[in-house]
């Protein structure tokens, strides 16, 4: 009975919507006549592949995903190592570091919109105090993507910290004691003891962050709406534009299918690498 219920859930809430999205991608469905559409085959995909704007959005998506995940992983692992030891105020430090993850995305985006404001923003005040020049962090095409990446990494690094911290707490203290007896320095201890135990957790987190970053919409849209000059126009933002602003549901569905294929490929690569690593250590 439980298996049947799970199968029904997957069919209705996972497989069904995916199949319907694929069907819409093969039609000329529009927002105002979504149920009165014509089958156009792969025309939406052909148009998409010939569209330099979509290819630019895909490139921006890859850059955004790689840098966001990299920064979040680095900050998360470093934070976990910093709050793992015993020191006064450790609990307070952990709570403070978790706050970005707990803050709603809308509130975070609005706060950083004020921080990055060219005229009254805190960041420009600090830059000018240090003798620098004020920038339009969200209005300059040269800086907008970097600003969005920084906010996204800030928003997600606490999740990395929590997972890695849990992995750190599972490492037997005897291993560190043995490393101290061998007079291993901190880098060697990390490489020989810490990293092998936290690497699987970091791998899982990297997979999740990659999928989340690839389909992240709310932070980008609230900060820049994909601008300026489409400098932050990722694939997900393009899906929203095509579907709900331009009303081209069929083309938006085709873009969504491309995103789904990418996420699936990333997941398959992760499981393949994990399987090879496990077979090597077996």
Three-state SS string across 241-274, please? HHHHHCCCHHHHHHHHHHHHHHHHHHHHHHHHHH
Q: How far is CA 117 from CA 29, 125, 219, in A?
A: 39, 10, 16
For the chain, report the end-to-end CA distance as a whole number of angstroms: 37
Give the model's pLDDT for residue 87.
79
In a domain, 31, yes or no: no
Give the model's pLDDT for residue 1.
63
Question: Tokens 């569209």 map to which residue?
Answer: 51
In a domain, 39, yes or no: no
Residue range 248-266: mean pLDDT, rounded:
91
**pLDDT tens figures, 53-98:** 888 999 999 999 999 999 999 999 999 999 988 878 888 888 899 9
Residue 11 has pLDDT above 90, yes or no: no
**pLDDT tens figures, 246-256:** 999 999 999 99
**Contact status, residue 209 vs residue 194, Cβ threshold 8 Å:** no
**Contact status, residue 48 vs residue 54, Cβ threshold 8 Å:** yes
In a domain, 37, yes or no: no
Per cent of the chain over pLDDT 70 is 98
In a domain, 124, yes or no: yes
Domains in the chain, number:
1
Peptide bond into 109 cis (omega under 30): no
In a domain, 18, yes or no: no
Select from 220, 189, 204 the least CA-distant residue to 266: 204
As a whole number of angstroms, the distance between CA 187 and CA 42 comes to 54
In a domain, 19, yes or no: no
Residue 282 has pLDDT above 60, yes or no: no
Q: At 78, which CATH number?
A: 1.10.3720.10
**pLDDT tens figures, 162-204:** 999 999 999 998 988 888 888 888 888 898 889 999 999 999 9
Q: How far is CA 245 from CA 253, 265, 281, in A?
A: 14, 29, 51
Task: Give the residue numbers spanning the domain of 113.
Answer: 47-281
In a domain, 14, yes or no: no
Which pTM was predicted? 0.91
**Contact status, residue 135 vs residue 118, Cβ threshold 8 Å:** yes
């Amino acid at each position: 009975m439980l298996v049947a219920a799970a199968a029904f859930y997957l069919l209705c809430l996972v497989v069904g919507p995916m199949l319907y999205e694929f069907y819409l991608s093969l039609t000329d469905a529009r927002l105002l006549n979504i149920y009165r559409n014509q089958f156009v085959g792969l025309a939406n995909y052909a148009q998409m592949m010939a569209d330099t704007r979509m290819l630019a959005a895909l490139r921006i998506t890859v850059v955004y995903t790689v840098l966001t995940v990299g920064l979040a992983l680095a900050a998360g692992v470093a934070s976990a190592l910093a709050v793992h030891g015993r020191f006064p105020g450790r609990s307070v430090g952990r709570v403070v570091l978790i706050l970005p993850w707990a803050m709603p995305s809308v509130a975070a985006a609005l706060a950083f919109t004020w921080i990055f404001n060219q005229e009254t923003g805190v960041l420009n005040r600090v830059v000018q105090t240090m003798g620098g020049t004020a920038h339009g962090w969200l209005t300059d095409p040269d800086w907008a993507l970097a600003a969005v990446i920084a906010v996204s990494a800030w928003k997600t690094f606490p999740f990395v910290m929590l997972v890695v911290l849990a992995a750190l707490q599972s490492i037997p203290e005897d291993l560190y004691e043995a490393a101290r007896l061998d007079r291993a320095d901190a880098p060697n201890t990390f490489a020989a003891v810490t990293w092998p135990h936290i690497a699987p957790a970091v791998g899982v987190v990297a997979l999740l962050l990659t999928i989340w970053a690839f389909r992240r919409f709310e932070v980008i849209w609230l900060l820049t709406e994909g601008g300026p000059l489409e400098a932050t126009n990722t694939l997900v933002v393009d899906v929203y534009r095509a579907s709900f602003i331009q009303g081209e549901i069929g083309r938006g569905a085709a873009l969504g299918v491309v995103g789904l294929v990418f996420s699936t490929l990333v997941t398959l690569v992760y499981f393949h690498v994990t399987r090879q690593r496990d077979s090597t250590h077996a």
